[in-house]
Structure formats: structure tokens, C-alpha cells
Amino acid sequence: MKVNNWIIALVAAGLTACNSSDDPTPKPVNPGAGGEGKDINIYPVPPTGWMGTTSPYNTAGWVGDIMPFYDNGKFHLFFLHDAQTKPAGQGFHDIHKFESANLVDFDYAGRMIPYSTPNQPDFAIGTGSAVKVGNTYYMYYTGHNGIAEFVQNNPRESVLYATSTDLKNWTKKPSFKLTAPAGYYNYDFRDPHVFFNVEKNEYWMLVSTQTNSRRAVLLLFTTTNPAADNWVPRGPLYTTTDAENYVMLECADIFKMGNYWYLFFSEDWSAMKGTHYRMATSSEGPWTKPAQDMLDGQHFYAAKTASDGDKRYLFGWTARRNPENDSGNKEWGGNMVTHELTQAADGTLGVKPPDAVNRLFTKEVTLQPKQTVGSATATGSTFQLDGSATAAYSLFGSFAGSTKISAKVKIDASAGTAGFVFNADNLTQQSFKVVLEPGNGRIAAYRVSGGNAQLVTQVAVALQAGTTYDMSVIIDGSVCVLYLNGKAALSNRLYSLSGKSWGITATGSQATISELKLYGPE
């Protein structure tokens, strides 16, 4: 959880109830696939009107940090609700939930855990996690209160919990408050991740914090029985290295997949902002950094995982912009985006679209050639682009609604780039490119404005000139996600997709883009 620094006036009071959703009837976030030119909402946001009142909070909102939990055939996707309107004197980031059995259709289940009053530790709520102990579900979460009068006598952040027997109705336990032990910084003490460690036969909790010397750590607590409220500090499970020097290791997740243990965390202060991972052969480490330790770029944040017992999925949010245009500032919170994790023989991870998402796009749409720029020729669905001297483009007419683009891409020279271009009605003045860059070992996205290309986001991937790569792009609303060979993704926020031409491009090399196809939902 990264808490925005809003100035909070001490005005009247927040919500004091400690129970469930205001309306127990699930509301569909998306109507399901179907219909030409239709957004199918596979990247959901909470609906407007969730309170059912005239409260200023009763506006559209965004998805903040996701706390996924799988139980009895269903994903329970708890998240921090980021309202567009945040009245002064009230708290923020209460916990809401989506439910889904297939990661395509999402029901909005309402508010689960509300924020409290200005004199309580959870005046604002931060990231946490759910765990089942016997017949009781525990939701551990961050209590955040930065009001000056409160922090004079209390830690700014602490770990709290609420319990439930049905994953709908939650009761806070006000007598429990876990704070930073001696040697650690209680101003930043958040994002508890709790699970039962079968390797150690005990419950583990990881908390994101810093040492008193401001070194970022994931602090480990253990217990044999969460109901006893006796979490014992065991020291750091992971400490940022000198080379990393991360400020915080937010929203941690730890799990075993095959023969390896994985540790995920997010950080938002370095040159490579986003969600990172480490791997080990034991839950205690030592943790090693893979050559490519990010699976998506900086627009995909606070990602945590859940498994249905067969596959494991990575849930994060793709940042919105303010104002809502391609040059707006990247903001906290956005749409929920889900990747399916893949695992190579050496244990390294990758991502691909969930199978259920891929199955939505079965209706092939005829490409509508619009124009070529530079040296570009086509034979059927195969395109030869020669951008050696100057950039080459093959452009197509606009598409409508949720869309999947697939292609195979080969770049002849390592110094060259090739990929996709969007908002391409005026290439030099206003466009957006997502390209492979073998020489830089990455996928990169650029916003072109007034003839200047600005790097927006990137993800490191090992690429070789002369090798053919499978690429796909899934577009839903203003969210655009590129996938490469089951290895990596690059999520972007593009408001300029609708009604604009798009195409393929190569620069600095010859490139072959084959089997180029466009799909919509049936």
C-alpha cells in the first residue's frame, strides 16, 4: 500500500460499523462477452452508486491494492476502494470485493471492511490478506492514521484484523493491534501477508517496514494459532540489498510453485518501479534475484497472487491518469488486471493471458488496410517492414470495443525495434508505440507528441535478433496489455484507442510481422 498524502481536515466523523457490504446482492461488473464493438470489462473497476445513498463517496471509484483469496471454487478479490471523491474529514481506502469463478465475469460484492473515525488506527485502511483458520476467515489489514493529533501518541501504521464465517460479514477485533517491534520504524509498518507455511507447520506473517536506520525489510512474524493473537517477531525474511536500496518493499506475497518458493513485492521509488520477485528453494531463503525480476512494467502495481489449486494468477492494478488523457499524470489506483503465471524449467516465472480471457476472443475481424509509411509490403497476413533508413509503418482502420491482436514478430538487427502503434492518425504529432527492443533487452512503450518520443513504461526481457516471438495485445476500455511468448507483459493506459487507426512498425532494422490477426468477442 502506498498512501497518498492527502491533507485531511478534522471534520465530522467517518463510519463506525464493522460489518459487511451495504447491499448483499452481488452486482455484475460486466455483462459478459458478446456484441460487436463492445467492451467486455475483463479489467473491472467498482460501479458508481455502491453506497446506495447520496454520500459524496457514492461516485465512481478505482481499484487499489488487491488482496486475492481463493475459496470453494471462487476467487474473492478484496481491494482498496479509491473513490474519485474523498470528502474532507472522512477516511479512505475501505476494503471492497469482487467475486469471480472464471476471471472473466466479475460480481461486485460491496464494501467488506469500512474505515473508522479520526481517532482510530484505521481512519484509513491499507493492504492486507485473508487466511482461513478452522471455520473462521481472518482478514489482516493495515491501519493508517496520519493525523497529527493521532500520531503524537500512536504509531502511524499498525496491523489489525477482522473475522468472518462467510467471507461477507466481517467483525473487527479492536483489542488486537500489532505494531513495530523494537528496532523497526512504526511510521511505515504495513501490508501484512498471512499464510499457513506447510514447510514449517506454522502461520507466517510478512510485514513491510524499515529498520530504525531506514533500511527496507520484510519482517517475519510467526504463530501456531492466529486466534491466540500471539504473533512473535522473527527478524527480516528479506532485506533490500545495497544495489537495490529500495525505500519500501510493499504488498509482499510468498508462495510455493513446483520446486521453488517465490517472494513478490512492489516498490515505487527506484528507476525500475513496479512489482518484483525473488526465488529460493526454501521459504526461509536465501532469496536470489532472477535476471529479469519484473513480469510487467510500472503501470502494473501492487501485484499479489492466488491459486485455484491448478494455476496461479497475478492480480494487480493498471494505473489511471489524471486528467484522463494519454499525457495525464499516472495516479494511484486503476483497473484490476489479471495475468496467469508460467514457470520455466529453471524456475523463473513469466505471465500470459488467463485461458478464459483468451477464449473470449474467437471472432476474427478483417484487417482494414489504411496506408503505408516508408518501406512496407504485405503478402496476406505477412508484412515486411524495412525501417533501416527511416521508420516503416503499415496502418489499419480503427477497431471497436474489446479487441485482441496477435502476431509473430522477427527483428533482423539487434539495434532495431518493431511492434505496434496506436492512435496513429497523425504519427509524428500524436501516437503511442509498444515495441520489442533486442538491443536494450526490453519491451518498451513510448508516447509520441510533437515529434518527440517519451518512454512511458518498460519491462526487461531477453531478446535475440533473428528470433521469432509470439505477441498478443488485449485491449479492453482504456487498458492495453501486451504479452510476449508467455514470458512477460506490458500494461498501459491508453485513452486514445477508440476510433483511431493502429498499425505495426519497425525502426532501425528490417522486420517480419506474420500471422497478424485481429479478434473480437463473439
pLDDT the model gives residue 96: 96
Q: How far is CA 251 from CA 194, 262, 274, 284, 388, in A?
A: 11, 14, 11, 18, 44
Residue 16 clears pLDDT 90, i.e. is over it:
no
pLDDT the model gives residue 89: 83
Rounded-to-integer distance, Cα 504 and Cα 147, Å: 51
Q: What are 443's three cell numbers?
A: 519491451
Higher pLDDT, 14 or 258: 258
Q: How far is CA 102 from CA 32, 106, 329, 360, 383, in A?
A: 11, 8, 33, 12, 36
Residue 6 clears pLDDT 50, i.e. is over it:
no
Answer whether 140's CB lies under 8 Å from 128's CB: yes
pLDDT the model gives residue 498: 86
Return the closest-CA partner of residue 505 out of 426, 411, 413. 411
Rounded-to-integer distance, Cα 496 and Cα 420, Å: 14
Digit-coded pLDDT (tens) for 227-271: 999 999 999 999 999 999 999 999 999 999 999 999 999 999 988
Could you give the percent of the chain with pLDDT greater than 70? 91
Terminal-residue alpha carbon distance, the chain: 38
pLDDT the model gives residue 58: 64
Q: How far is CA 80 from CA 3, 148, 354, in A?
A: 11, 23, 23
Q: Mean pLDDT over residues 115-128, rounded?
A: 97
Digit-coded pLDDT (tens) for 41-61: 999 999 887 666 667 666 678
Assigned fold of 27-358: Tachylectin-2; Chain A (2.115.10)
Rounded-to-integer distance, Cα 29 and Cα 32, Å: 9
Q: Mean pLDDT over residues 298-302, rounded?
A: 97
Digit-coded pLDDT (tens) for 400-423: 899 999 999 999 999 999 999 999
Q: Which residues contact 218 (CB under 8 A, 6 or more apart)?
A: 206, 207, 208, 236, 237, 238, 239, 249, 252, 263, 265
Domain boundaries, the chain: 27-358, 365-520
Mention the CATH class of domain 365-520: mainly beta
Mean pLDDT of the chain: 91
Q: Which residues contact 26 (CB under 8 A, 6 or more apart)?
A: 99, 107, 108, 109
Rounded-to-integer distance, Cα 292 and Cα 460, Å: 6
Burial class (CB in 10 A: 0-12, 13-18, 19+), 320: buried
Q: How many CB atoms lie within 10 A of CB 435?
A: 24
Rounded-to-integer distance, Cα 275 and Cα 277, Å: 7
Angle (CA) 507-432-517 rounded to 5° is: 75
Answer whether 167's CB lies under 8 Å from 71's CB: yes
**SS3 breakdown of the chain: % helix, strand, coil, rounded to 5?**
5, 55, 45
Rounded-to-integer distance, Cα 188 and Cα 170, Å: 26
Q: How far is CA 97 from CA 108, 144, 170, 176, in A?
A: 6, 20, 12, 23
Judge if 27-358 and 365-520 fold alike in CATH terms.
no
